[in-house]
Amino acid sequence: MAAKHSKTPRQQTGGKTPAVGKAKTTASATTTTAASSANTASTATGEVVKRARRTSHRSIREATPVTMDDVLSLASKATKRADKSLLVICGGLSHERDVSISSGHRVQGFLEEAGWTVHVHDMDGSLLPYLTDESTRPDLVWPLLHGANGEDGSIRDVLEMAELPYIGSRAKASRTAWSKPIAKNVVRMAGLQTPHSVTLPESMFRELGVEPVIDMLLGSLGLPLFIKPTMGGSAMGCTMVTEQSQLTQALINCFAYGDVALIEQAVTGTEVSVSILEFDGHPLVLPPLEIWTPSGTYDFEARSTPGPTEFYVPARLDAKTTQAVSDAALTAHRALGLRDISRTDFIVDAQGQPQFLESNVAPGMTDTSLLPQSALAAGYNLPELYTALVQSVLDQKRTD
Amino acid sequence: MADDPNIASKVIKNDPWYSSYATRAEQMRASEIRALFAVANRPEVVSLAGGMPYLGRMPFDKLADQLGDMLRSKGQVAWQYGSAQGDPHLREDVLPIMELEGIKDVQPDDVVIVNGSQSGLDLITRIMCDPGDVVLAEAPNYVGALGVFQSFQVDVVNVAMDGDGLIPEALEETILEQRRQGKAVKFLYTVPNFHNPAGATMSVERRPQVIEIARKYHVLIVEDNPYGLLAFNGQTYPALRSYDSEGIVYLSSFSKIIAPGMRVAWMVAPPGIRQKLVLANESAILCPSNMSQMTITTYLDNFDWKSQINDYRGMYKERCDAMDEALKEYLPYCSWLKPKGGFYIWLKIPQGLNAKEMLPRAITAKVAYVSGTAFYDNGEGADHMRLSFCYPTPDRIREGIRRLSTVIENELATVRLFEPDSGKERG
């Protein structure tokens, strides 16, 4: 699929041959944005940024993209599917439990359809015995926990301690992506643009006084603003603020979900989401998906209720902007040190510039979620696509 | 290929049938609150949210034997279609239950079996109400009834209540006001005993007054009575239906006293309405489940169900006392009416707090409740929450209230910080 619009011969990337088969070309996401073009907006994340820069340089230079043929080839290698025991972990105690269970069962269904033996387990007191008992210990884990303990790296730390291979980003990278302000700093250092923002804990308002902080906030960022918890998903606790009078209520809503608020300039533009699957370091950047809602806000209700929301795949952007947003997603994926699967959300502003909002290490996999929608629209068969991802990780014989 | 930026975009409608839905489906939406409740059933969470009766003391071993015998002898009936009006045996069995609350003039033929009271509410609203018609109801109102009324696009007009239930004067004023506006008031919906969520019980003095007002203005009363046998001291109150056989549709259920999973309830209605109810029941479901009905009759015929209910009454009293004591200790600045039966305490939280907006904080603290907003269809109720004491043990109830107190304290601190004027009179 990538061959039709490749711009750079694969050889020029200097990449190693993908483990997944004969990669014929490079594709959309092998270009441009790297640390050399980064602005210097922040140095607050020190070591994380340095690592991200190194990762970003190395990966973008070396990795070659994956084609549909590669995916099919890799899936066809999975000849002993029923012999492998896969475990999907979903549920948990986060605010997104419902979405997580839905994601987990969808993935289970597609993998079983592809012939794998798949079990599903909640994250509870019986999980560790299940993971460590010889009779139940899985060959591979796919953590599909959303929210805290799922995307903050915790469950991945546990899996690493248990020396169980799993699909998805490592614990440290997950923690980086989970904190929206830190992730913004990292991708900014990697050259991406992200809406200007400040990160304020509730205690800051308490210590300095609400009015002076809000005055300074409005003076610095102006209106409209987007208020969200620094950690969380599914747009829970998020509020668009267009008038000053809405600000305090938006902060109260936000602090019900967490102690720290990310207060971001609201950017007007096209909401676009780019999903990436990665096969032993070689990326498959799925076509950018544009989200359109009547209200203009892709809030919890719009995400969770089949309704008037429409998705456009690829996004209704010109070729150059489409390329730019795909590249930006891969840059974010690399800069944050993500692995195997991610979804990065952007607003493409009036100048056609992708503005990074956040990256997700455990993107939703429900029937209305963006990654599967994007993959289906690109012509992928989900059982085989997920099979290729599973087989890729099994082939790597990971211990983390 | 589809990821070529030069090709036309493909539009994927999130719901291809969105434009085809009826207007009444408009209110059927996911919400953050519903999603948050996904964690309420986890053992780590003390759920004070659900109205699930405690079933741990049911004699399931013995019941299993009886049900086995029933299936062996009557399996072909139990698994077959049945009457739209319901199993005659069960319609006879409910008569002595109603007699406990003073209803003594009912024959089996007057009874209609339905799939839980929820289905009964759906049927009565279906046959009585056109879109825009008015239903009067206590405020706050049972959330399940609100859902039915919304689905039939009925205007729910609130009637004030207090610790003695529906206020007769308020009822008359409301009827007159609706008449002045030219509105058709189709019925009054009331839960007179141990109201859900308010916990209040209509006083015996008010019952004939309410009936008299309804008669005077020719307003039908729909009496929903799932909790009437669950007074902590064993007392029963005369059902509204015991005063009047012509102007009342009576609903009662096995859900709170025996088995909610069976989905078996019953209705008693004046002849014309009853006939319509049977036809509507047939139209909606053909017939209630024979298996469920025969499970209930097997239980009623072979076990001392009165003693079982008496046992549950004592247990619910113990749990209500535990919640009341914990509230006094941990949340003395909130206010509530201690109920004399049923499942719920309706807690008023400090001014300025919003129970709906506070729920994520509660879930984080591993305690769940139902925001008061669920019991109104006009956005009111944010200053209340419904706390259920029916399912958790007394120790868990105490722990839940302790957690809730930290949630309220933290939310108070946040609201006071950002909106000091809204909470001036807070405790």
CB contacts, 8 Å: B419 with chain A: 248-249, 252
Residues A325/A273, Cβ–Cβ less than 8 Å: no
Domain end, chosen from A154, A174, A194, is at A174
- State how far the Cα of B356 lies from the Cα of B377, in Å rounded to an integer: 14
Q: For residue A99, what pLDDT is reported?
A: 87
Q: For residue A136, what pLDDT is reported?
A: 96
**Tokens 């944005």, located at residue:** A33
- State how far the Cα of B250 lies from the Cα of A67, in Å rounded to an integer: 67
Q: Do B42 and A307 touch (CB under 8 A)?
A: no
B-facing residues of A in 100-139 (CB < 8 A) are 101, 124
User: Mind telling me how many Å the CA of B410 is from chain A's nearest CA?
Assistant: 9
- State how far the Cα of A201 lies from the Cα of A196, in Å rounded to an integer: 17
Is pTM beyond 0.90? Reply is no
Task: Find the CB nearest B5 among A93, A312, A322.
Answer: A322
Q: Do A313 and B9 touch (CB under 8 A)?
A: yes
CB contacts, 8 Å: A200 with chain B: none
Residue of A nearest to B33 (CA): A95
**Tokens 């064993």, located at residue:** B234
Average pLDDT, chain B: 93
User: Mind telling me how many Å the CA of A213 is from chain B's nearest CA?
Assistant: 11
The reply to whether omega before A314 is within 30° of 0 (cis) is: yes
The DSSP line for B172-204 is HHHHHHHHHTT--EEEEEE--SS-TTT-----T
> A277 in contact with B at a CB cutoff of 8 Å?
no
In degrees and rounded to multiples of 5, residue B93 shows phi and psi of: -65, -25
Q: For residue B421, what pLDDT is reported?
A: 76
Domain end, chosen from A147, A174, A201, is at A174
CB contacts, 8 Å: A231 with chain B: none
HEC string of A157-189 equals HHHHHCCCCECCCCHHHHHHHHCHHHHHHHHHH
Strands A260-265 and A197-201: antiparallel
CATH of the domain at A93: 3.40.50.20
> B421 in contact with A at a CB cutoff of 8 Å?
no
Query: Hey, of A255, A285, A371, A385, which one would you mutate to test binding to chain B, going by the most B CBs within 10 A of its CB?
Result: A255
- State how far the Cα of A356 lies from the Cα of A269, in Å rounded to an integer: 12
Q: Do A378 and B39 touch (CB under 8 A)?
A: no
Residue of B nearest to A245 (CA): B419
Residues B334/B326, Cβ–Cβ less than 8 Å: no
Q: Is A64 helix (H, G, I), strand (E, B) or coil?
A: coil
Q: Do A290 and B419 touch (CB under 8 A)?
A: no
Q: What is the pLDDT of residues B287-300, one digit of tens each?
A: 999 999 999 999 99
CB contacts, 8 Å: A2 with chain B: 1, 3
Q: What is the pLDDT of residues B353-365, one digit of tens each?
A: 999 989 989 988 9
Q: How many domains does chain A have?
A: 2
Local confidence band at B31 (pLDDT 50, 70, 90 cut-offs): low
Query: Hey, of B1, B3, B414, which one would you mutate to test binding to chain A, going by the most A CBs within 10 A of its CB?
Result: B3
**Tokens 């990795």, located at residue:** A63
Mark A16-33 as b/e (b = at least 16 C-beta within 10 Å). Answer: eebbbbebbbbbbbbbeb
Q: Is the model's pLDDT at B161 over the cut of 60?
A: yes
Q: For residue A2, what pLDDT is reported?
A: 35
Closest CA to A137 of A82, A85, A81, A83: A85
In degrees and rounded to multiples of 5, residue A127 shows phi and psi of: -70, -50
Residue of B nearest to A237 (CA): B360
> B409 in contact with A at a CB cutoff of 8 Å?
no
- State how far the Cα of B236 lies from the Cα of B103, in Å rounded to an integer: 12
> A306 in contact with B at a CB cutoff of 8 Å?
yes
The mean pLDDT value for B231-237 works out to 96
> A318 in contact with B at a CB cutoff of 8 Å?
yes
Q: How far is CA B80 from the centre of its chain?
A: 30
Task: Find the CB nearest A319 among B6, B10, B38.
Answer: B6
- Inter-chain Cβ pairs, chain A and chain B, closer than 8 A: 149
Residue B110 or residue B424, greater confidence: B110
For residue A35, give Cα distances in angstroms to A47, A50, A187, A335.
15, 10, 9, 9
Degrees to nearest 5, angle at CA B406 with B403 and B408: 110
CB contacts, 8 Å: A201 with chain B: none
Q: Do B5 and A286 touch (CB under 8 A)?
A: no
The mean pLDDT value for B259-278 works out to 97
With respect to residue A353, please indicate whether it lies within any of the assigned structural domains.
Answer: yes
Q: Is A249 helix (H, G, I), strand (E, B) or coil?
A: helix
Q: Is the model's pLDDT at B1 over the cut of 50?
A: no
Local confidence band at B32 (pLDDT 50, 70, 90 cut-offs): low
With respect to residue A335, please indicate whether it lies within any of the assigned structural domains.
Answer: yes
- State how far the Cα of B395 lies from the Cα of B312, in Å rounded to an integer: 17
Q: Do B29 and A124 touch (CB under 8 A)?
A: no
ipTM: 0.81
Q: What is the pLDDT of residues B3-19, one digit of tens each?
A: 454 567 889 888 888 88
Q: Do B418 and A286 touch (CB under 8 A)?
A: no
Q: Do B44 and A99 touch (CB under 8 A)?
A: no
Q: Do B42 and A252 touch (CB under 8 A)?
A: no
Task: Sort A47 into a burial class: Cβ within 10 Å, 0-12 / 13-18 / 19+.
Answer: exposed
With respect to residue A244, please indicate whether it lies within any of the assigned structural domains.
Answer: no
Task: Find the CB nearest A4 among B4, B9, B31.
Answer: B4
Six token digits for residue A279: 């096969």
Domain end, chosen from A127, A151, A174, is at A174
Residues A275/A314, Cβ–Cβ less than 8 Å: no
Task: Find the CB nearest B414 among A27, A124, A202.
Answer: A202
Q: For residue B41, what pLDDT is reported?
A: 80
For residue B220, give Cα distances in angstroms to A383, B106, B177, B270, B321.
57, 18, 17, 10, 36
Residues B52/B391, Cβ–Cβ less than 8 Å: yes
Q: Do B35 and A210 touch (CB under 8 A)?
A: no
Task: Find the CB nearest A253 among B3, B15, B357.
Answer: B357
Range of the domain at A366: 268-379
Per-residue confidence in pLDDT tens, chain A, 400 aa: 333 333 333 333 333 334 443 333 333 334 332 223 333 333 334 444 444 444 444 444 457 889 999 999 999 999 889 899 999 999 998 878 888 999 999 999 999 999 999 999 999 999 999 999 999 999 999 999 988 778 899 999 999 999 999 999 999 999 999 999 999 999 999 999 999 999 999 999 999 999 999 999 999 999 999 999 998 777 788 999 999 999 999 999 999 989 999 999 999 999 999 999 999 999 999 999 999 988 777 877 777 677 788 999 999 999 999 999 999 999 999 999 999 999 999 999 999 999 999 999 999 999 889 999 999 999 999 999 999 999 999 999 887 7
Q: Do B39 and A93 touch (CB under 8 A)?
A: yes
> B22 in contact with A at a CB cutoff of 8 Å?
no
- State how far the Cα of B2 lies from the Cα of B8, in Å rounded to an integer: 8
Q: Do A316 and B10 touch (CB under 8 A)?
A: no
With respect to residue A184, please indicate whether it lies within any of the assigned structural domains.
Answer: no
- State how far the Cα of B313 lies from the Cα of A25, in Å rounded to an integer: 74
In which region does residue B92 sit, left (phi positive, over 0), alpha (psi from -120 to 50) or beta (all else)? alpha
Q: Do B358 and A316 touch (CB under 8 A)?
A: no
B-facing residues of A in 228-247 (CB < 8 A) are 234, 236-237
**Tokens 């006293």, located at residue:** B257
Q: What are residue B135's DSSP bridge partners? A: B156, B187
Q: For residue B306, what pLDDT is reported?
A: 95
With respect to residue A249, please indicate whether it lies within any of the assigned structural domains.
Answer: no
With respect to residue A326, please indicate whether it lies within any of the assigned structural domains.
Answer: yes
CB contacts, 8 Å: A309 with chain B: 13-15
With respect to residue A39, please indicate whether it lies within any of the assigned structural domains.
Answer: no
Q: For residue A311, what pLDDT is reported?
A: 93
User: Mind telling me how many Å the CA of B13 is from chain A's nearest CA?
Assistant: 5
Task: Find the CB nearest B14 among A2, A28, A368.
Answer: A368
Q: What are residue B260's DSSP bridge partners? A: none
Q: For residue A298, what pLDDT is reported?
A: 80
Six token digits for residue A371: 């990654």
With respect to residue A388, please indicate whether it lies within any of the assigned structural domains.
Answer: no
Task: Find the CB nearest B360 among A206, A237, A304.
Answer: A237
Query: Hey, of A7, A71, A93, which one would you mutate to test binding to chain B, going by the most B CBs within 10 A of its CB?
Result: A93
Residue of A nearest to B5 (CA): A319
CATH of the domain at A289: 3.30.470.20
Q: What is the pLDDT of residues B367-392, one digit of tens each?
A: 999 999 999 988 899 999 999 999 99
